[in-house]
DNA sequence: GTCTATAATCTGATAGAC
DNA sequence: GTCTATCAGATTATAGAC
């Protein structure tokens, strides 16, 4: 019969996922090479050994591909932030700050996709948005554990850490001139916003 | 004779400059509409009422056009920074900070061109670079007048102010959520870096 | 799921007439 | 300095055979 057994479906699904993974990896590589907006489905297909049209089996549009990249990048950031957890809030805060800056600067293209509106027609979908909100909630929690409830503090913090990442990425990719200032920025921030010191 | 009189040359030069100006203005508008990397010579030519090929009389390549945009944007930033001068260094510093943040956020595309490496093949030429260095020198001078000689201070400052602009531009273009924190960021910065207080 | 074929359109850039 | 004509590609996306 033409109805596949469950075994068939599983193997097919596994293969589908693997190919999808391969395409996403190649997409990151292509974007790093040619710029985020310069990502081309043709070149992408060639590196995975496919005809360009076959990509549409896995992503029904170029924006859907950007969307998948956005979502997986934010999910990865979230898991890095969680891995930076620590019982001492002060230590946790420093670790989170470093994890964030490191994550942003280790891949400039990923940074642009997540934090700069640089792809003309693209707006992230609900999956990516969810992770983005979770990342922010996590940071808010740490601040609360440090006795910092001021909502302005969170905005200043994202500006400072994002600014370090942005400067490093734009002016000296791969270097340490700005990322090396993270500890200093953290003390500066705490001196301004942490209570009683 | 075929040699034009000085009068001819002048009129021709004036007309050339005017057309060039018109093209640059249209280029900014086009970039704001379609994204910086999405700037198209065809569309640009159409809005100035020209055939696309005629643009090459004024800019010998697309990168040369980007270059001109970059240079004029940095020159404008420099003149704004100079306009923010003030005998009291403390006041001058605050004014410079606000001028910078305001300049960055009033045109997101211009911000991306100047401070984010977002156009794949583009590297700014010597004209733009000169203005960029001058802007930085001006800020360094103000810091020196505040008694801040630490070179790390300048890098932290560009990160903080650039970060405010980046967050505002990416997350709430046209709003005041981050730019409204400029004064607070300035005090935070001075508390960390200014001597004896 | 992958292919061929192709639509429909865009891209930056050059040569040469006027 | 502007035009016509054109090159030599690129782009995303769809239809339909196998």
In tens digits, chain A (197 residues) has pLDDT values of 444 555 667 888 899 999 999 999 999 999 999 999 999 999 999 999 999 999 999 999 999 999 999 999 999 999 999 999 999 999 999 999 999 999 999 999 999 999 998 998 899 999 889 999 999 999 999 999 999 999 999 999 999 999 999 999 999 999 999 999 999 999 999 999 999 76
Residue of B nearest to A188 (CA): B192
Half-sphere exposure (CA, 13 Å, Cβ side) for B131?
21
pLDDT of amino acid B6: 58
User: B130-182 pLDDT, tens per residue?
Assistant: 999 999 999 999 999 999 999 999 999 999 999 999 999 999 999 999 999 99
> CA-CA distance, A145 to B96, in Å (whole number)?
35
Contacts of A162 in chain B (CB under 8 A): 163, 166-167
Structure tokens at B123: 């590297």
Query: CA-CA distances (angstroms) from residue A161 to A23, A143, A168, B58?
Result: 31, 14, 11, 41
pLDDT digits (tens, 9 = 90+) for B22-58: 999 999 999 999 999 999 999 999 999 999 999 999 9
Burial A144-158 (b: 16+ CB within 10 A, else e): eebebeeeebbbbbb
> Which residue of A lies nearest to B112 if distances are taken between CA atoms?
A118
- CA of B53: nearest nucleotide by C1' is C13
Residues of chain B found within 8 Å of residue A184, distances taken between Cβ atoms: 152, 156, 192
pLDDT on residue A2? 42
Distance B39 CA to D2 C1' (A): 22
d(Cα A84, Cα A90) in Å, to the nearest integer?
12
pLDDT at site A6:
59
Whether residues A112 and B119 touch (CB distance < 8 A) is answered with: no
pLDDT, position B3: 44
- Measure A125 CA to nearest chain B CA, in Å: 15
pTM above 0.85?
yes
Q: The domain B62-197: what is its CATH number?
A: 1.10.357.10
B1 — pLDDT class (breaks 50, 70, 90):
very low
**What's the CA–C1' distance between B30 and C18, in Å?**
31
User: According to the model, what pLDDT value does residue A7 have?
Assistant: 63
pLDDT tens per residue, range B58-79: 999 999 999 999 999 999 999 9
CA B178 to chain A, closest CA, distance in angstroms equals 7
Q: What is the per-residue pLDDT for B141?
A: 97
Query: Tell me, what's the pLDDT at B46?
Result: 96
- B1-60 — its CATH code? 1.10.10
Task: Answer yes or no: is pLDDT of B7 > 70.
Answer: no
A115 Cβ under 8 Å from any chain B Cβ:
yes
Which nucleotide is nearest, taking the CA of residue A41 and each C1'? D12
CB atoms within 10 A of CB A24: 18
Domain layout of chain B by residue ranges: 1-60, 62-197
3-class secondary structure for B16-84? Answer: HHHHHHHHHHHHHHHHHHHCCCCCCHHHHHHHCCCCHHHHHHCCCCHHHHHHHHHHHHHHHHHHHHHHC
Residues on chain A touching B157 (C-beta within 8 angstroms): none
Show the tokens assigned to B136: 């930085």
What pLDDT is attached to residue B58?
Answer: 97
Three-state helix/strand/coil letters over chain A: CCCCCHHHHHHHHHHHHHHHHHHHHHHHHHHHHHCCCCCCHHHHHHHCCCCHHHHHHCCCCHHHHHHHHHHHHHHHHHHHHHHCCCCCHHHHHHHHHHHHHHHHHCCHHHHHHHHCCCCCCCCCCHHHHHHHHHHHHHHHHHHHHCCCCCHHHHHHHHHHHHHHHHHHHHHCCCCCCCHHHHHHHHHHHHHHHCCCC
């Amino acid at each position: 019969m033409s109805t596949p057994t469950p075994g068939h479906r599983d193997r097919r699904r596994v293969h589908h996922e693997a190919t999808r993974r391969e395409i996403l990896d190649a997409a990151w590589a292509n974007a790093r090479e040619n710029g985020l907006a310069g990502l081309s489905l043709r070149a992408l297909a060639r590196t995975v050994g496919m005809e360009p049209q076959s990509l549409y089996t896995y992503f029904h549009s170029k924006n859907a591909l950007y969307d998948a990249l956005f979502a997986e990048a934010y999910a990865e950031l979230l898991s890095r932030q969680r891995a930076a957890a620590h019982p001492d809030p002060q230590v946790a805060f420093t670790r989170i700050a470093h994890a964030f800056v490191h994550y942003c600067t280790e891949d400039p293209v990923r940074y642009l996709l997540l934090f700069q509106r640089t792809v003309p027609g693209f707006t992230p979908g609900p999956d990516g948005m969810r992770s983005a909100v979770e990342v922010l909630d996590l940071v808010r929690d740490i601040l609360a554990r440090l006795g910092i409830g001021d909502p302005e503090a969170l905005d200043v913090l994202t500006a400072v850490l994002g600014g370090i990442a942005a400067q490093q990425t734009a002016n000296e990719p791969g270097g340490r001139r700005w990322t090396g200032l993270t500890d200093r920025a953290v003390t500066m921030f705490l001196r301004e916003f942490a209570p009683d010191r």
